[in-house]
Structures are given as C-alpha cells and as structure tokens.
Structure 1
Amino acid sequence: MSSTTQALPLRSVTMTRGMVLLFAFCCGAIVANIYYAQPIIELIAPDLGLSSSLASLIVSLTQIGYALGLFFLVPLGDLLENRRLMVITTLVAIASLLGAAWTQQPNVFLLVSLLIGFSSVSVQILIPLAAHLAPEESRGRVVGGIMGGLLLGILLARPVSSVVADLFGWRAMFIAAAVLMAAISLVLMLTMPQRQPAHSATYGQLLRSLGGLLRRQPVLRQRAFYQGCMFASFSLFWTAAPLELARQHGLSQSQIAIFALVGAIGAIAAPISGRLADVRISVNVTERFANT
C-alpha cells in the first residue's frame, strides 16, 4: 500500500469511544454475511433448482467455511500485518457475495457460500486487535462493546435479509452486502492501525499449537464444548424456524423479519458482561494490593 493510505502505527492509536463503535459496526457487518441466506432459503432454492435436502447445505457450507477460516486463516493474524490481512479477506468476501448474487448454477452458489463463511473470519482478527489496543482496566468494556456489535450483526442479518428479499428479491441482499463490504474495506484501509505481529513461530507451528492448547487447558476444552453446543442449537433453530413459519404458517418474509427482531434483544447482554469483567479485574487488583 502507498504511504498516502497507510493508517497510524499501532502505538499511536487508542481505543476511543468512536474507535470502539467503528470496530463494533465493522464486526457486525462482516459477520452478518454468514446469516443473510438463512431466512430466505425458501426463495433461493427454487430459483436455483435446489432440492430441499441440498438447500440445507447453503447454511451448513457457510458455517463449515467459517470453521475452516478459524482454523486456517485466523492464525495468520499472528504472522502477517493485520490490516492488510483483513482487507484481503474482505475483498474475498466481496467477490463471494457478488458470485452468490449473479450465479445461476446451484453448485456454484454452494461453493461461494463456503467462501462467504471462510472470508467472514476477519472479525476474529479485529477483536484481538481491539483487545490489544485497549488498556487493561477497560479491556472488558471495549471487547464487550465490540461483541455487542457482532451479536447485533448476527441477529439483525435475518430480519434485514427477509425485508430486502421481500421487497427487491433475494439477489438484491447479496449485492447490498457486497457494496457494504466494499465500503468497510475502504474504512479499514484508512482508519485501522497497522500491526505487524512479533511472532517467531511458523504457520505450521501455529496450527499444531492449537492441539497443544486443547490438551493442556481443560477450561478451554469445557468452554469450547459449551459454546459449540450453544452455537449448534442457535443455528438449528434459526435454520428451521423461517422454513416452518413460511411453509406451515404462511408468513411473508417481512413477517418473518419481525419474528427475528425479537432475538436482537440478546445483544444487550454483551456490553453488560464486558463491564462486569472490568469490575472483577478491578476488584482482583485491589485485593492484590491490599494483601501486599
């Protein structure tokens, strides 16, 4: 990148309220790409000639792509300059979303669904960067605020997708998402601080270290299992619910959107949890000094 578009170096950037809001918006917008297709499968499948069983692969492949991105792409955040990596993955997301909007082939749509999930893991690079920038006493609040934006993106993606598909057709949703990603890539290029990780491990060593962490950290295994179960339940419900509401109860896409909006209330919990984490850190630090 040229010097005219380079962001401020990492050491000169602090997590102001505006920066937290920007990170939260970017995370929410990026992660929403994974969920746009869920409530409108009923519209996508017949248009592409997908059977009911193959239509379910749209959601599954998107989530599989996200899992593959977590395993293979996120570790690169410890090796490559973070801003450049995020911009590249966002460009892949733009290409994938446009492919979903324009393709007439069911197999191609399934492939780009996998790529949409794979390229959406850039949020998992952005959140650790925010935690690194934030001072310890406010780190929980900062991460909680950004996670609130991420959760809002997950929960609002469905009603937004339903309304847009109802008014303009399902392909319009993917075109709009690609335009939004183009805007975000420009914002990231101009405002996101540069961070070149000081890591000596190779890519292969980073991948192998994941297995070592699971073996050595029982708490990590427990929480990974809990979160996996919760995420599976969440995905199953929101995959089946729109189909049930449309087929059995005759709801339109706009009516399904109103149903999905109820779930957005849950995003309020993330900032509250972050503030509670900060309080706990402050109490622990106070107790430590009191005992010395």
Structure 2
Amino acid sequence: MHTEETKPQLTSTVLWLMTILSGLVVANNYYNQPLLGLIASDFKVAEGTVSKISVLTQLGYACGLLFIVPLGDKLLRKRLILIDLLFVIAALLLMAFAQQLWLLYIASFLIGVTSVIPQIFVPMAAVLATPEKKSSSIGLVMSGLLMGILLSRFLSGIVGEYWGWRSMFELAAGTMVLTWLLVWFFLPEIKPNFKGSYGSLMKSVWHLAKTEPKLQLASFRGAMGFGAMSAVFTTLVFHMEGAPFHAGSSVVGSFGLIGAVGAFAAAFVGRFNQRFSVYQLIYGAILILLLSWAFIYFGQHTYTGLIIGIILVDLGLQSSHIMNQTDYFSIPTDATSRLNTVYMVCYFIGGSLGTYLAALAWQYNGWAGVCIVGTTFSALAFIAHVLFGRGRRRSRTRTDAISH
C-alpha cells in the first residue's frame, strides 16, 4: 500500500485525462445499439438475432469486470491498461471486418471483456485524490464515463447512417490507438496494494460480495436500474423504424444525446448529500426511474413523450448509480478495485438481462412488452431499497483482512 510520499499526485491534467479516456473507452460497448437495424439488414437476419450483439457485449463487460478489474489491486495499473488496450483495438478491428455473424458475436463479447479500463480509472481517482477531493474526483471520472455511454449512441447513429456501420468500429479502433499513446505518455504509475496470488485475490472479491450488506444492496439496485435502461435503448431502434416515426439510425442515436441532459444533471446529485441522506437521494432517483416509464409507454407515439421519458430514465439511473458508488466506496478498506468489481459485475449482468428480456418482449408483445420489462426492473430496485435500505445503511461494515 502507498505511503503519502510515494503516491503520485492527482493533478488536474491526470484527472481530466482519466475522465476523457473513460468516456472514449466505455463508448466501445454502446456503439452497436443504434446500428443493430443496419447490421440486421446487412446480414439479412431478424432484429431479434442481431440483438444478441448487445447482450454479448454486456456479458463480456461483466466478465472483464470480474476477471480483469481486480488486477488493478495486484498489478501495476498503467501497464495493465496499456496491455488491455491492445486487445481492445484487436477486438474492434475484428468487429469492423467480420463477414460472418458468429464472428460478430465473438468480437462483441471481446469488446465487452476488454473495454473495462474506466472501472480501473474510478478506483485510481479514489486512491490518488486527497480525502477532501475524493468525492469530486470520482464524480468527475464518472461523469466522463456516463457522457461516453450516452454520446456514443449519438455518434454511432450518424456514422452508421452516412458511412456504414463498419466505419464506426474502424473509427473506434483508431481512437483506441490514440488512447494508448495518451496513457503511455501522461498516466502515472501506481504500485499495487495486494501481494497475494490471483486465486486469493479472487477469493477476496467473493468475500466482499458475501459479507458487505451495503455493497450487496447497491449491487442489486444498480443491476435492476441498468437493466431498465438497457431495455429501452436496445429496442428503441426497432420501435422508431416503424410508424409513425420511420426514423433512421441517426435519429435513434440522437436520443443518446438527449439522454446526456439527464446524465449531466445527475452529475450534480452529490451536492445534495449535505441536505439529504444517501437513502433519500437513492429513493428519489428510483422514483424518477419509475416515472420515466409512464412517459415511455403513454407517449410512445410522440417524440415529446419519448424525449421526456429518455431524459428521466438517464437522470434516475445515473443519479442512483453515483449515489450507489458513493455508498459502497465509504466502506473502510483499501480494496477499491474489488469493491468496484462486485458492483459493476452485478450492474452489467442486470444490463444483459434487461437487454435479453426486452428483445424477447419486443418479439412477442412489441413496445408494451418492453415497457413491462423496464417497469418491472425499476419496481424491483425500489422495493429492495425500501425494504433493506434503511436498516443496512446503519449497519457497521465488516472489513476482515482483505487488503493484503
């Protein structure tokens, strides 16, 4: 573990570098969503068939979170990031040039596995920041990550419509080459704080998952919330291809830009932490998420209804996401990468489940089925928070010997 003398300083340049690069890397996971219609047309397959691309990307991301991110506590983080970026580039190029659908599935899964670098940056910000700037530093990196998620859909929709869906992945590969160079020249190195084997490292991840109620509840809320948002964004392109919209991928992608309004507003949720408890802020955020589905369903045939719904989905999800992370990063342990691993693995498993169930619901019951899936996920998050949030937020966390 670092002493104050050996720990690098978190300068504003390094903080902004991690913020911007978090957005660029995480975007790789979401470029495919507005492009699914184009991919289905290109390969002459049904929409439900290509929706597996989004599912596999999210499942891949969950695997990367589980098996790669904990290494941030064991290995030199800069070296880990540089090696991982090489695999990101290879996966994106495979996606860009694949001529068979099964190769697209493999590439999508590998893109998800390797594009986990933002979840190494978030604990890095927590480790490098001074105590008084820890929350704001984590919040800034998270805001970069959230903007990357939302703006990626906007960018890929435009690129896909005018230059073809493959061009988006070629552009992404080039961006990752630039990212590799920026990390090489500007990111400081951090010495690891875990000295055991990889097996013992993974056992400590499981130990945290089993023994920390605060982490368990945050992980369930996050999984359900992300499942709800994934349901709407994965199927939105199919809904808007039909009447009355008859919209192309660029229009659908622009909803990511619209959602950025909600994400930007959510970045300020931490400022209310002095007036309201974490429990109250998460309660309000999940209520907003539930409310969004009323607009998404009843306003499904109007741009106004969908725009309001998408803004509220992103505002509710991202607000609860930021407060979830604030909650579990308050657990007194050095195992920051491993805490993040448990939460984010659950988060993306929830997203994968939401994507899968929404694709099935779309196939059998159209937009109404998608809304049932999203509302159910949101309601489960709310019920869990009300039932377990008050008691567990007061519980003392247990930090057995997991940091060494």
With the shorter chain as reference, the TM-score category is 0.7 to 0.9
Distance in 1 between residues matched to 2:87 and 2:80, nearest whole Å: 11
Structure 1 residue 53 displacement after superposition: 2.8
Query: Counterpart in 2 of 1:195?
Result: 190
Distance in 2 between residues matched to 1:152 and 1:165, nearest whole Å: 20
| Alpha carbons of structure 1 residues 178 and 106: separation in structure 2 relative to 1, 3 Å | same
Query: Counterpart in 1 of 2:346?
Result: none
Query: Counterpart in 2 of 1:69?
Result: 64
Alpha carbons 1:142, 1:274 under 8 Å: kept:
no
Q: Secondary structure at the match of 1:121?
A: coil
Distance in 2 between residues matched to 1:106 and 1:257, nearest whole Å: 23
Deviations 1:38-86 (CA, angstroms, capped at 9, x unpaired): 0110001231344333211100000000000111111111111101111
Query: Counterpart in 1 of 2:361?
Result: none
Q: 2:130 aligns with which of 126, 130, 135?
A: 135
Deviations 1:63-115 (CA, angstroms, capped at 9, x unpaired): 00000011111111111110111111111111111111111111011001000
Q: 2:114 aligns with which of 111, 119, 140?
A: 119
Alpha carbons 1:75, 1:203 under 8 Å: kept:
no
- Give the counterpart letter for 2:80 in structure 1: L
RMSD, aligned CA: 2.0
Q: Secondary structure at the match of 1:33?
A: helix
Query: Counterpart in 2 of 1:7?
Result: none
Query: Counterpart in 2 of 1:25?
Result: 20
Distance in 2 between residues matched to 1:12 and 1:227, nearest whole Å: 31
- Give the counterpart letter for 2:259 in structure 1: G
- Give the counterpart letter for 1:71 in structure 2: L
Q: How does 1:111-260 map to 2 (within 5 A)?
A: 111-248=106-243, 249-260=245-256
Alpha carbons 1:138, 1:278 under 8 Å: kept:
no
Query: Counterpart in 1 of 2:35?
Result: 40
- Give the counterpart letter for 2:205 in structure 1: L
Q: Secondary structure at the match of 1:104?
A: coil
Distance in 1 between residues matched to 2:186 and 2:266, nearest whole Å: 25
- Give the counterpart letter for 1:234 in structure 2: M
**Larger deviation, residues 21-30 vs 259-268:** 259-268
- Give the counterpart letter for 1:224 in structure 2: S
Structure 2: runs of 5 or more not aligned? 278-325, 327-404
Structure 1 residue 277 displacement after superposition: 5.7
Distance in 1 between residues matched to 2:176 and 2:110, nearest whole Å: 14
| Alpha carbons of structure 1 residues 276 and 11: separation in structure 2 relative to 1, 3 Å | farther
Q: TM-score, normalised by structure 1?
A: 0.88
Distance in 2 between residues matched to 1:116 and 1:142, nearest whole Å: 27
Aligned-pair identity in percent equals: 37
- Greater relative contact order (Cα 8 A, min sep 6): structure 1 or 2? 1
**2:121 counterpart of 1:100:** no
Structure 1 residue 12 displacement after superposition: 6.5
| Alpha carbons of structure 1 residues 171 and 158: separation in structure 2 relative to 1, 3 Å | same
**Larger deviation, residues 166-175 vs 17-26:** 17-26
| Alpha carbons of structure 1 residues 275 and 197: separation in structure 2 relative to 1, 3 Å | farther
Total equivalences in the alignment:
272
| Alpha carbons of structure 1 residues 237 and 19: separation in structure 2 relative to 1, 3 Å | same
Distance in 1 between residues matched to 2:201 and 2:21, nearest whole Å: 26
- Give the counterpart letter for 2:257 in structure 1: L
Query: Counterpart in 1 of 2:350?
Result: none
Distance in 1 between residues matched to 2:130 and 2:68, nearest whole Å: 27
| Alpha carbons of structure 1 residues 277 and 140: separation in structure 2 relative to 1, 3 Å | farther
- Give the counterpart letter for 2:133 in structure 1: S
Q: Secondary structure at the match of 2:190?
A: coil
- Give the counterpart letter for 2:120 in structure 1: I
Query: Counterpart in 1 of 2:360?
Result: none
**2:54 counterpart of 1:59:** yes
Structure 1 residue 257 displacement after superposition: 2.8
Q: 2:268 aligns with which of 269, 272, 292?
A: 272
Q: Secondary structure at the match of 1:194?
A: coil
